[in-house]
């Protein structure tokens, strides 16, 4: 009887230990969608293209299938840009029994953290595993820290990001099932507005400054005039 051990956060890699104490790593499918939560977004896309809303994501309907697949495609593209909500630095990746590091399916970007321990590493994704280009091998002597961009499920997306994804998907879908240039331009304007809202959210969440950040931290607090005025 295999005893389950805790899985990695956000990961589809489950770890088990048999009675002899040996470790087993089982690669499991990771769900990236939630059709009930995505249904309102699909209906927004359909309505933007002049189509009637639906009650279920019945992909035997060609328009629904195109809208839904476009939403998934655009969601992956937008999240791959890397935002504050789905970027994680200094994340420890553990080796398996073969000293290899498997990469879960819900990782869009991965790179070795820029620190003293990784100075000689140049890693990329290859065959579902980390590959060290500097030493031309899949095996590692130690667990390593990496910087990751995660692919999140729809329900975990911040509202401004979800709105931007929906607007971009509507623009793309209109070109695929309608082909009206005037409608395309109107939807592009909505897409530009939602991207501006997404960027405002990103700037507020990221607390960006030209002084730079030390890893994940931002220790700089900008000048706030009201503090001088209330003296």
* Domain spans, the chain: 3-30+87-150, 35-82+153-206
| Residue of 9, 88, 86, 78 whose CA lies nearest to 41 | 78
DSSP classification of residue 231: -
Q: Quick check: 146 and 117 in contact, CB under 8 A?
A: no
Q: What is the pLDDT of residues 51-73, one digit of tens each?
A: 999 998 888 899 999 999 999 99
CA atoms within 13 A on the CB side of 36: 0
- In total, the chain counts a number of residues equal to 231
% residues pLDDT > 70 (the chain): 74
Give the model's pLDDT for residue 113: 86
Q: What is the pLDDT of residues 152-178, one digit of tens each?
A: 999 999 999 999 999 999 999 999 998
The reply to whether the predicted model has a pTM over 0.95 is no
Q: Quick check: 109 and 148 in contact, CB under 8 A?
A: yes
Helix (H) / strand (E) containing 112: strand 107-112
Give the model's pLDDT for residue 30: 40
| Residue of 173, 165, 162, 178 whose CA lies nearest to 67 | 173
The residue whose two tokens read 């489950």 is 14
**Ramachandran category for residue 144: left, alpha or beta (phi over 0 → left; psi -120 to 50 → alpha):** beta
Instruction: Write the DSSP string, 23-72.
Output: EEEEE-------HHHHHHHHHHHHHHTTPPP-SS--TTSHHHHHHHHHHH
CA atoms within 13 A on the CB side of 102: 17
Q: Quick check: 30 and 104 in contact, CB under 8 A?
A: yes
Which backbone phi and psi does 127 adopt, to 5 degrees?
Answer: 55, 35
Per-position pLDDT tens, the chain of length 231: 445 544 444 444 544 445 555 544 444 434 445 567 899 999 999 999 999 999 988 888 999 999 999 999 999 999 999 999 999 988 999 999 999 999 999 999 999 888 767 778 889 999 999 999 988 999 998 889 999 999 999 999 999 999 999 999 999 999 999 888 999 999 999 999 999 999 999 988 887 766 666 555 555 566 667 666 665
Give the model's pLDDT for residue 179: 86
Give the model's pLDDT for residue 201: 95
């Amino acid at each position: 009887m295999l005893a389950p051990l805790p899985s990695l956060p956000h990961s589809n890699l489950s770890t088990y230990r048999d009675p002899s104490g040996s470790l087993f790593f089982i690669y499991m499918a990771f769900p990236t969608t939630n059709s009930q939560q995505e249904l309102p977004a699909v209906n927004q896309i359909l309505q933007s293209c002049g189509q009637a809303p639906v009650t279920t994501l019945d992909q035997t309907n060609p328009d629904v299938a195109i809208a839904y697949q476009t939403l998934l495609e655009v969601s992956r593209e937008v999240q791959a840009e890397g935002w504050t909500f789905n970027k994680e630095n200094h994340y420890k990746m553990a080796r398996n029994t073969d000293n290899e590091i498997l990469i879960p399916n819900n990782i869009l970007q991965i790179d070795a953290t820029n620190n003293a321990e990784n100075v000689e590493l140049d890693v990329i994704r290859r065959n579902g595993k980390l590959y060290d280009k500097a030493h031309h091998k899949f095996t590692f002597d130690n667990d390593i820290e990496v910087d990751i961009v995660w692919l999140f499920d729809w329900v975990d997306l911040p509202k401004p990001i979800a709105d931007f994804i929906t607007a971009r998907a509507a623009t793309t879908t209109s070109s695929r099932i309608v082909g009206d240039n005037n409608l395309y331009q109107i939807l592009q304007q909505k897409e530009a507005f939602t991207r501006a809202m997404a960027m405002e959210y990103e700037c507020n969440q990221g607390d960006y400054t030209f002084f730079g950040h030390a890893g994940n931290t931002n220790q700089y607090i900008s000048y706030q005039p009201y503090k001088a005025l209330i003296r």
